[in-house]
């Protein structure tokens, strides 16, 4: 299936990607935003954007030198993970192809931390090793107790899935900015319209 995308660039050295879902693998799934829109927003638009995600997520400490084929593989894996996440939310059976892909990727060698002469931890990985680490995180998340904390953002346009660790599981959106602010603003406007209609005088007919 072809997906239309919006291209997003990073300027002034700012981070290209956001990490607000409570688990790197969910942030990885969230690199395709507003999935129900006619034109979703694709954040993985180039091999360089994939390298940035690996680095900014903390998965690796150095760029993984991605090629276009690595980007294609990453997007295929991302969509397989998304199918598993959605099935978990709905309590449905997993798509067999998606499950096989995630498990096969998890079986591959993953990123391994190393110790430097300066007594610091450093992780370098090939794109395939980095993707294997993401697949393993998927297995750990969906096969563990945190799977019960999965929620989809309540703002209809947003399709980000996050972990709700709030007291009483009362969190309603993936992040305050922009989703929480927009939901609150919409509720405020609706409340004001209701108040205005209630305050309007009722005209009686002659």
Q: Which domains does the chain have, with CATH numbers?
A: 24-199 (1.10.3300.10)
The tens digit of pLDDT for each residue in 63-121 reads: 889 999 999 999 999 999 999 999 999 999 999 999 999 999 999 999 999 999 999 99
Find the Cα–Cα–Cα–Cα dihedral 155, 156, 157, 162, rounded to 10°. 50
Coil, helix or strand at residue 78: helix
Residues 181, 175 contacting (CB under 8 angstroms) = no
Look up the pTM and report it: 0.81
* Residue entry with tokens 């603003």: 185
Q: Which carries the bigger pLDDT value, residue 176 or residue 46?
A: 46
Residues 28, 168 contacting (CB under 8 angstroms) = no
The tens digit of pLDDT for each residue in 8-34 reads: 344 435 788 999 999 999 999 999 999
Sign of CA dihedral 187, 188, 191, 197: negative
Q: Which residues contact 49 (CB under 8 A, 6 or more apart)?
A: 10, 16, 17, 43, 71
Q: Which DSSP state fits 63?
A: -
Nearest Cα neighbor of 174 from 187, 194, 195, 156 is 156
């Amino acid at each position: 299936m072809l997906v239309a995308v919006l291209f997003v660039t990073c300027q002034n050295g700012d981070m290209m990607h956001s990490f607000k879902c409570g688990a790197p693998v969910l942030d990885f799934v969230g690199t395709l935003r507003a999935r129900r829109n006619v034109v979703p927003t694709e954040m993985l638009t180039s091999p360089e954007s994939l390298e940035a995600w690996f680095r900014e997520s903390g998965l690796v400490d150095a760029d993984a030198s991605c090629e276009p084929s690595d980007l294609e593989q990453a997007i295929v894996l991302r969509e397989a993970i998304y199918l598993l996440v959605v099935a978990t939310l709905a309590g449905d059976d997993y798509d067999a192809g998606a499950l096989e892909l995630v498990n096969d990727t998890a079986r591959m060698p993953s990123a391994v931390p190393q110790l430097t002469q300066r007594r610091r931890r450093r992780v370098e990985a090939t794109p395939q090793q980095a993707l294997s680490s993401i697949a393993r995180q998927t297995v750990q998340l969906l096969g563990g107790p945190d799977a019960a904390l999965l929620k989809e953002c309540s703002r209809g346009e947003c399709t980000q899935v996050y972990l709700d660790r709030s007291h009483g599981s009362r969190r309603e959106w993936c992040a305050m900015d922009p989703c929480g602010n927009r939901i609150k603003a919409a509720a405020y406007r609706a409340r004001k319209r209701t108040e205005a209609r209630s305050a309007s005088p009722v005209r009686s007919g002659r």
